[in-house]
């Protein structure tokens, strides 16, 4: 019996994708001016942007990562989540200094809407590695208090399933060669634009 992944329940129209990109940019610009995320009136957005969805917003500048923030559980309406995560990616990602006004012009914004994470069943690390689908799966790793996730876009730089898993372990604060029968792995897909 194969695992059926839940795809994000909405595939956004090009018009709504553009609305979300513009909203992300406005929230970052607002953050430069005020230090806070843009607050929106959710009722002014199309119905599909009012449903609760989990998102990540990833920022690149000159093809280099400049920030990435998101959540794994749908707790806010899609438009609100994008506005907040865009601001957070620009100003609160601890790997980077807060964005400054001179960087705004060359910013490339990527939005990922997450499907529902589903727990994977595996008998060993090898079994897990053979089930991971390169280029498709985002993974969440949990081991005790250690937790980390990689979006499917990480496959662009880590193309091998074992390498992907080992780097994810490190992101979660574990050694790359760590293994335990108590590791929990969930996978998810994204709608990305």
In angstroms, the CA 113 to CA 26 distance is 19
- Tens digits of per-residue pLDDT, 21-69? 999 999 999 999 999 999 999 999 999 999 999 999 999 999 999 999 9
Task: Look at residues 146, 153, 149, 193 and name the one whose alpha carbon lies nearest to residue 174.
Answer: 146
Radius of gyration of the chain (CA): 17
- Tens digits of per-residue pLDDT, 93-134? 999 999 999 999 899 999 999 999 999 999 999 999 999 999
In angstroms, the CA 3 to CA 185 distance is 13
- Tens digits of per-residue pLDDT, 73-89? 999 999 999 999 999 99
Q: What is the pLDDT of residue 11?
A: 82
In angstroms, the CA 186 to CA 193 distance is 22
Task: Look at residues 109, 61, 68 and name the one whose alpha carbon lies nearest to residue 88.
Answer: 68
State what percent of residues in the chain have pLDDT above 70. 95
Which DSSP string do the residues of 36-99 spell out, in sequence order? SPPP--GGGS-GGGTSB--EEEEEEETTEEEEEEE-SS--SBHHHHHHHHHHHHHHT-TTSPPP
Give all domains of the chain, ordered by start, each with its CATH number. 14-114 (3.30.700.20), 118-192 (3.30.1490.150)
pLDDT band at 2 (very low <50, low <70, confident <90, very high): very low
- Tens digits of per-residue pLDDT, 147-168? 999 999 999 999 999 999 999 9
Q: What is the pLDDT of residue 8?
A: 47
In the three-class reduction of DSSP (H, G, I as helix; E, B as strand; rest coil), residue 129 is classed as: helix
pLDDT band at 10 (very low <50, low <70, confident <90, very high): low
Handedness of CA 103, 109, 114, 119 (dihedral sign): negative
């Amino acid at each position: 019996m194969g695992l059926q992944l839940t795809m994000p329940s909405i595939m956004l129209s090009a018009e709504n994708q553009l609305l979300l990109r513009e909203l992300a940019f406005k929230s970052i610009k607002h953050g430069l001016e005020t230090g806070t995320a843009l607050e929106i009136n959710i009722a002014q957005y199309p119905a599909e942007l009012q449903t609760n969805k989990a998102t990540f917003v990833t920022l690149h500048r000159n093809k280099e990562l400049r920030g990435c923030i998101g959540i794994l559980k749908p707790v806010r309406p899609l438009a609100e989540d994008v506005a907040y995560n865009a601001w957070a990616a620009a100003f609160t990602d601890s790997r980077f200094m807060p964005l400054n006004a001179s960087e705004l012009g060359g910013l490339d914004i990527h939005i990922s809407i997450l499907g529902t994470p589903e727990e994977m069943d595996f008998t060993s690390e090898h079994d897990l590695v053979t089930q991971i689908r390169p280029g498709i799966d985002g993974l969440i790793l949990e081991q005790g208090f250690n937790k980390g996730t990689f979006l499917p876009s990480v496959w662009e730089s880590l193309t091998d399933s074992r390498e992907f898993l080992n780097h994810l372990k490190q992101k979660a604060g574990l050694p790359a060669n760590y293994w335990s029968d108590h590791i929990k792995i969930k996978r998810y897909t994204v709608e990305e634009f």
